[in-house]
Chain A
């Protein structure tokens, strides 16, 4: 009985392995031949596309191009995506015309596909060639799975109108499990036009982690108009929010923030102290030099580190302070840190 099972297994495996081997070889040959053919078509289409882009009436030439090559979708997609990278502004118009006349209908249909990968692929294609009035198709995808939602959000930033901005912020406020990195990237790409929405969100009672991101964005986009809202968070009972407020104040560089930051430099949490010291260094207010010198003697490494680089930012005055501290013998840790900062100023200025 066992011998028969083994014999059949042998025959079956032999057949299976042989078929798989032939499949791999046949697939390889087919793929190679397809790639050769696609390359030939690609080069031919590329030549014609360049003629379209340099034609006296690019839009009309694009219509003609779309009519001629509308059936070669696979290569056409590759060509459009490749040229999307190289072109910008008005030069993109012929590509959009070609997209609308050839791929758009299929792309819109595939945005509703039941397969996640297909939806994702088409969002990304749609991103490159859609127009602001078509944002509605992407807004629908904001309820999709996280990865599609992320792609749709990214797409919306490319064609952001006032309405889409409102949608993005509303989604962020309601999102039960937001991907903060994704939102951060999206908000960053939107730039300073988000200020009114950011202000409104900062004033709403949101979870601390969402407020933390909004505070961070205010600093990253240098939205100085939000200074009064940010200062409010410096007194927050949440340590993370105080850290973010300290960091943002160090970016906004509003002169009045010295007093707030000096207060945060005496915070019970060393993380807040470290951030406040770093921001004070950015502010370069000469009155804070004694505070930075004192921080260089802190028992916390991070506070010492930030104080060292904060002093270095003052230029020759800070360097002289560092030299003095590096020579003193009472606190070896402060001396070592001062020596390291001086050393890095001389050598490379830090990695990356």
Chain B
């Protein structure tokens, strides 16, 4: 019996080691692919004048849809930034999703909104719309006031009212850079038949100075939780998603900034109202739809259109956010389980779905299993200390190496952190995040399974501070 337990123990140890090795190898591979992609992209856009797009009469107009729920502190800044985007033809559709704060009142006051009698096609069912407003000073702005029904329902209401063939989903607490739409729309110009979606890079505005709806100075925040998240976002977007997009394995285009073909999204029935991570759900359904229609398609990530968003600086709020993301991931993967290892769905079924299932969904459980095993060995006095310490440092430096690669990718793509000190701070964050932050998030994500099984479907409020307050001199 003891031998059997020992054998099992050794087996689990090797499983964890193999998992650790494989996971980091994949991340390393994605980073290398991203590196190649960014270098190529840099060369491809040399001498390209994005302003040329203005002279193209056939550029597809875009409806920017902004769902807003209790975004009072930052909504006016966000909408101002969206209205000042450089793009030939676009409209901004703000959906006030039954906010209980002053979101609508602020919009009405800032943009001189007046009730409109607009008639629209209710192509996708949504909860009742209380009113539609148009601005007397901003002809591009439409505001919808509706009963609260979560983000997906708000997006669907926006889709029903939007007029243009492309739509861009932007969070109400986000700020797009002026050229972001011009840059993110390029795949739709280069390959309009096949491109069904494109995503830009999400960056954190914590520590940045925001004026007149634009980020005017980029800096690193003082809060370490925000610093860790900056690095996480760099790894996720510049390393992970860009690399996966090069392997035609994109499963997520962030709901904070993504652009899609409206006809394909509508053909899939729009956003699924019951979904926790509606962005991932829509992207997978769009891919599934295209595969089932046997139509070639592509979804691309572009490394330089940037959307700035605010990250939580409080562990409690962060835990709620990550728990929701993980529950959404489980829900989506369970819902589309038939796509797993299914060659009918191409790279999405054979690589992307299994990768997300094995490494993203199961990751926290295997990580927590490792911590439990270590604790049990500690209690039983069976820890091989030299091995454990060395292994810990291997894990730390592997993680740091991947973080450094992400910093290099940032330097090569947008190069937004102006000071050398910023690189040093981010590197320090890459080391320090291994000490508590990473373990904490693993436990939070693992625990989210319990919430998922209980059927918890709520978002968890995210405390909004607004960009004006977020802006500190970096």
Contact = CB atoms under 8 A, between A and B. Distances in A.
Contacts of B139: 348-352
A14 interface: yes
Nearest to B17: A2
A218 B121 CA distance: 31
B190 A117 contact: no
B420 A340 contact: no
B454 interface: no
B57 A3 contact: no
Nearest to A123: B47
A344 B61 CA distance: 20
B382 interface: no
Closest 10 CB pairs of A and B: A117-B43, A351-B91, A13-B397, A124-B47, A343-B117, A340-B119, A348-B139, A17-B401, A20-B404, A181-B192
25 contacts: A6-B387, A6-B390, A10-B393, A13-B394, A13-B398, A13-B401, A17-B400, A17-B401, A20-B408, A24-B407, A25-B420, A28-B411, A85-B49, A117-B46, A179-B193, A180-B192, A181-B192, A185-B56, A188-B58, A189-B55, A336-B119, A343-B116, A347-B136, A348-B136, A351-B140
Contacts of B398: 13
Given A20-B405, A28-B423, A352 B89 contact: yes
A349 B44 CA distance: 40
Contact of B190 (A3, A179, A347, A351): A179
Contacts of A21: 404, 427
A179 B194 CA distance: 10
Contact of B57 (A117, A188, A305): A188
A121 interface: yes
B404 A351 contact: no
A85 B47 CA distance: 11
Contact of A7 (B118, B390, B397): B390
B198 to A, nearest CB: 15
Contacts of B408: 20, 23-24
Given A347-B136, A348-B136, A340 B118 contact: yes
B134 interface: yes
Interface string A96-126: 0000000000000000000001101100110
A3 B91 contact: no
Interface string A76-87: 010001000100
Given A17-B401, A21-B427, A117-B40, A124 B46 contact: yes
Interface of chain A, main secondary structure: helix
Contacts of B43: 117-118, 120-121
Given A117-B43, A120-B44, A24 B397 contact: no
Contacts of A349: 139
B263 interface: no
A14 B420 contact: no
Given A3-B387, A179-B190, A352-B140, 12 more contacts: A3-B384, A6-B394, A13-B394, A13-B397, A20-B405, A20-B408, A21-B427, A117-B44, A180-B192, A185-B58, A340-B118, A340-B119
B46 A27 contact: no
Most buried by B among A150, A339, A343, A351: A351
Interface in B12-69: 17, 40, 43-44, 46-49, 55-58, 61
Interface in B406-446: 407-408, 411, 420, 423, 427
A337 interface: yes
Contact of A344 (B116, B189, B400): B116
Contact of B58 (A23, A25, A27, A181): A181
Contacts of B48: 124
Contacts of B163: 351
B420 A28 contact: yes
Interface string A161-195: 00000000000000000011110110011000000
B190 A147 contact: yes
B47 A121 contact: yes
Interface string B118-131: 11010000000000
Given A3-B387, A7-B390, A150 B46 contact: no
Most buried by B among A23, A185, A350: A185
A179 B411 CA distance: 34
A39 interface: no
Nearest to A352: B89
A185 B55 CA distance: 9
Nearest to B135: A348
A189 B393 CA distance: 61
B248 interface: no
A17 B404 contact: yes
A350 B134 CA distance: 9
A179 B195 CA distance: 12
A192 B391 CA distance: 71
Contacts of B401: 13, 16-17, 20
A76 B108 CA distance: 51
Nearest to B404: A20
A184 B190 CA distance: 12
A314 interface: no
A200 to B, nearest CB: 23
Contacts of B90: 352
Given A348-B134, A352-B89, A150 B58 contact: no
Given A3-B387, A121-B47, A347 B192 contact: no
B397 A14 contact: yes
A301 B121 contact: yes
A5 to B, nearest CB: 9
Nearest to A9: B394
B191 A179 contact: yes
Interface string A317-352: 000000000000000000011011011100111111
Nearest to A128: B47
A260 B141 CA distance: 38
